[in-house]
Amino acid sequence: MGKIICTGLGPGDPDLISVRSDRLIRAARHVAYFRKAGRRGQARRIVEGMLAPEVREYPMEYPVTTELPFGSAEYNQLLASFYDDWAGRLADLATTNDVVVLCEGDPLFYGSFMHLQTRLQGRVETEIVPGINGMTGCWNATGIPITWGDDVLAVLMGTLPEDDLLRHMQSADALVVMKTGRHLPKVRRALERAGRLDDAWLVERGTMPGQRVMRLAESETGECPYFATILVHGHGRRPELEE
Amino acid sequence: MGKIICTGLGPGDPDLISVRSDRLIRAARHVAYFRKAGRRGQARRIVEGMLAPEVREYPMEYPVTTELPFGSAEYNQLLASFYDDWAGRLADLATTNDVVVLCEGDPLFYGSFMHLQTRLQGRVETEIVPGINGMTGCWNATGIPITWGDDVLAVLMGTLPEDDLLRHMQSADALVVMKTGRHLPKVRRALERAGRLDDAWLVERGTMPGQRVMRLAESETGECPYFATILVHGHGRRPELEE
């Protein structure tokens, strides 16, 4: 009886994979990973050159979504079947073999593996190996501490309504905004309304080839890659001494 | 001319150090790390068995604070001299050697190295290698995703005033509270007022020997270790479809 091991890959640079994940990936005989249909896939790219020659690969390709609006009931149904199907296939494989699932960043931080994990519960043993999450790679790319002292950090998704973004941008010291993409103009407006646009950085492909780090106010105002991350660094909050 | 390389050690398990930090630490001839006076130090403990036989170690011991109130002007002055002093010593060493500085977690996420880094700027080349931060080790210890979908995550310090804690606890989906220690009763009250106490977990020594994971409501109500972390997992927020 094998098990399913989800290994966090970190932010993109293969040198930032943990010693444990690195060892598991190199020793793996069965390796699965998510990717968009027709793409090589970011997770697969990170482990290029690390896989054993006799490895069997299982690319789990997300269903194509051009006909269905993202977030619609039909699309969610399609996604659920996709996860059901792969949970079944991996569980079958794991009756005789260990299976390593590659996950960008940290698997439990906005990861996709959890959709398999919930479906595998009680059917097969699973193990998760943490990774350096993508936002950590991004603030390291700026070389500036994201938080110190008693700073409050808020991690926000660019998909949120503008007023929600604004509220958090006004109340937290340090900010990370992920899933920006076509939401960039809205995120920019919210930062401007919060008086924080001039302190914001845009990081594309943090720790990866083609990394770009720039001040958001100086970047193009249109779209940016879906996985671009916006950062506002904290300044080391010191709360009033209490009691 | 050498340089100063700050290596993130991750949450505690040496197996979770990145491949790059692992290689740098094993090859290092000069290794510095912070610790409390009279203690072995957590950073040093993590790398036990990894250092080269001929390594020279530089424990940077925080000034003893029993006589001065933490956060007072006098204490801050003492700390500033401590960082000045070590920045000078490491810069001198780096004129002829590479120096590796060990930092728990990720160096740019509530780390102490930044106080050296600001003092070293322009004097010596520095490099930072990211690590898995402590909170990631803690949510991995629970085995439950901390965030998914469009969840908002707030990272809070237990040192904050209760009303600040409450406000963030009411508005974020997922919560991490660090630096809890003697602030546990206040953090608990804030969670209770926000209606979130029953969803909170307490993780002590995440990924380290002696790890404890328990529901906060079922734990002792008094103090907890300073580095205990409280978590409330998100449930996968789906914002209303926009436009």
Alpha-carbon torsion (B100, B106, B107, B112), positive or negative = negative
CA–CA separation, A100 and A33 (whole Å): 9
**Which of A15, A144, A155 is facing B153, going by the closest CB pair?**
A155
Ranking A2-11, A98-107, B12-21, B62-71 by mean pLDDT, the lowest is: B62-71
Ranking A185-199, B25-39, B105-119, B222-236 by mean pLDDT, the lowest is: B222-236
Residues of A in contact with B153 (CB under 8 A): 153-155
Q: Are A172 and B153 a contacting pair at CB < 8 A?
A: no
Q: Model confidence at A84, in pLDDT bands (50, 70, 90)? A: very high
CA–CA separation, A128 and A5 (whole Å): 6
Evaluate if residue A228 carries a pLDDT over 80: yes
pLDDT digits (tens, 9 = 90+) for B135-150: 999 999 999 999 999 9
User: What DSSP letter does each residue of A100-112 carry, written as one string?
Assistant: EEEESB-TTBS-S
Q: Model confidence at B242, in pLDDT bands (50, 70, 90)? A: very low
Q: Taking CA atoms, what residue in B is nearest to A179?
A: B150
Tell me which residue of A46, A25, A26, A27 sits closest to A35, measured CA to CA: A46
Q: Are A108 and B145 a contacting pair at CB < 8 A?
A: yes
As a whole-number percent, the residues of chain A with pLDDT over 70 amount to: 93
CA–CA separation, A233 and A177 (whole Å): 12
Evaluate if residue A61 carries a pLDDT over 90: yes
Residues of A in contact with B157 (CB under 8 A): 150-152
Residue B177 amino acid letter:
V
Q: Are B108 and A144 a contacting pair at CB < 8 A?
A: yes
Residues of A in contact with B239 (CB under 8 A): 157, 159-161, 164
Closest CA–CA distance from residue A28 to any residue of chain B (Å): 17
User: Average per-residue pLDDT in chain A?
Assistant: 92
Task: Tell me what the mean pLDDT of segment B173-184 comes to.
Answer: 93
CA B203 vs. chain centroid, Å, equals: 14
pTM of the model as a whole: 0.94
Evaluate if residue B118 carries a pLDDT over 80: yes
Q: Give the mutation candidate from B150, B166, B179, B186 for the A interface (greatest A CB count, under 10 A).
A: B150
Residues of B in contact with A240 (CB under 8 A): 161
Evaluate if residue B54 carries a pLDDT over 50: yes
pLDDT at residue B70, rounded to an integer: 67
What's B64's DSSP letter? Answer: P
Q: Taking CA atoms, what residue in B is nearest to A111?
A: B148
Tell me which residue of A102, A20, A29, A93 sits closest to A59, measured CA to CA: A102
Q: Model confidence at B94, in pLDDT bands (50, 70, 90)? A: very high
User: What DSSP letter does each residue of B127-176 carry, written as one string?
Assistant: EEE----HHHHHHHHHTS-SB-BT--EEEEETTS-HHHHHHHHHH-SEEE
Evaluate if residue B47 carries a pLDDT over 60: yes
CA–CA separation, B157 and B176 (whole Å): 8
Closest CA–CA distance from residue B220 to any residue of chain A (Å): 23
Q: Are B60 and B35 in contact (CB under 8 A)?
A: yes
Q: Are A14 and B10 a contacting pair at CB < 8 A?
A: no
**Which of B18, B108, B238 is facing A18, going by the closest CB pair?**
B18
Residues of B in contact with A17 (CB under 8 A): 18-19
Evaluate if residue A11 carries a pLDDT over 80: yes
Tell which wins on pLDDT, A97 or B63: A97
Q: Model confidence at B232, in pLDDT bands (50, 70, 90)? A: very high
Task: Give the DSSP H/E element, type plus range, for residue A115.
Answer: helix A113-120
Q: Taking CA atoms, what residue in A is nearest to B149?
A: A110
CA–CA separation, B120 and B117 (whole Å): 5
Q: Are A133 and B136 a contacting pair at CB < 8 A?
A: yes
pLDDT digits (tens, 9 = 90+) for A197-220: 999 999 998 888 889 999 999 987
Q: Give the mutation candidate from B4, B6, B16, B104 for the A interface (greatest A CB count, under 10 A).
A: B16
CA angle at A166 for the pair A160 and A170, rounded to the nearest 5°: 135
List % helix, strand, coil for chain A (3-state, nearest 5).
35, 25, 40
pLDDT at residue B219, rounded to an integer: 86
Alpha-carbon torsion (B12, B15, B20, B21), positive or negative = positive
Residues of B in contact with A131 (CB under 8 A): 132, 136
pLDDT digits (tens, 9 = 90+) for B190-224: 999 999 999 999 999 888 888 999 999 998 766 66
pLDDT at residue B222, rounded to an integer: 65
Say whether A149 sits in a helix, a strand or coil: strand
List % helix, strand, coil for chain B (3-state, nearest 5).
35, 25, 40
Residues of B in contact with A143 (CB under 8 A): 128
pLDDT digits (tens, 9 = 90+) for A127-158: 999 999 999 999 999 999 999 999 999 999 99
As a whole-number percent, the residues of chain B with pLDDT over 70 amount to: 93
pLDDT digits (tens, 9 = 90+) for A174-201: 999 998 888 999 999 999 999 999 999 9
Residue B132 amino acid letter:
I
Q: Taking CA atoms, what residue in B is nearest to A153?
A: B155
Q: Are B18 and A14 a contacting pair at CB < 8 A?
A: no
Closest CA–CA distance from residue B98 to any residue of chain A (Å): 19
Q: Model confidence at A243, in pLDDT bands (50, 70, 90)? A: very low
Q: Are B146 and A240 a contacting pair at CB < 8 A?
A: no
